[in-house]
C-alpha cells in the first residue's frame, strides 16, 4: 500500500521545497508541480510533491490520519 501525506509548503527553492505537517519538516522535490507556491498544500509521496490540494482537503485528510492514530487495534 502506498500512502501520500498532505503537507504545507513553507520554503521553495528551485525544484525543492521544505514542507511541514504535524510539526515535522522535510525537503521534497517539487519538479512535478513547478507552479506551487509557499502556503500551498501538496500530497507528498516518496520525497516528491505529486498533487496540489486545497486547504480543506488537506485538513480533512490530516484529521483522518489523526483519528486512525488514536484508534486502538
pTM (predicted TM-score): 0.86
Residue 72 has pLDDT above 80, yes or no: no
6-60 pLDDT, tens digit per residue, is: 999 999 999 999 999 988 999 999 999 989 999 999 999 999 999 999 999 999 9
Looking at residue 71, the DSSP 8-state letter turns out to be S
3-state secondary structure of 72: coil
Domains of the chain are 5-69 (2.30.30.140)
- Secondary structure element (H or E) that encloses residue 27, with its range: strand 24-29
**What is the reported pLDDT for 62?**
87
User: What is the C-alpha separation between 73 and 67, in angstroms, rounded?
Assistant: 12
Match 505529486 to its residue by C-alpha cell.
50
Asked if pLDDT for residue 73 goes beyond 80, the answer is no
Residue 1 clears pLDDT 70, i.e. is over it:
no
Residue with cell 501538496: 42
Amino acid at each position: 500500500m502506498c500512502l501520500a501525506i498532505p503537507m504545507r509548503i513553507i520554503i521553495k527553492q528551485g525544484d525543492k521545497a521544505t514542507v511541514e505537517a504535524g510539526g515535522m519538516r522535510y525537503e521534497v522535490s517539487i519538479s512535478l508541480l513547478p507552479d506551487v507556491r509557499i502556503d500551498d498544500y501538496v500530497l507528498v509521496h516518496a520525497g516528491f510533491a505529486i498533487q496540489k490540494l486545497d486547504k480543506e482537503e488537506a485538513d480533512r485528510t490530516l484529521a483522518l490520519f489523526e483519528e486512525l492514530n488514536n484508534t486502538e487495534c
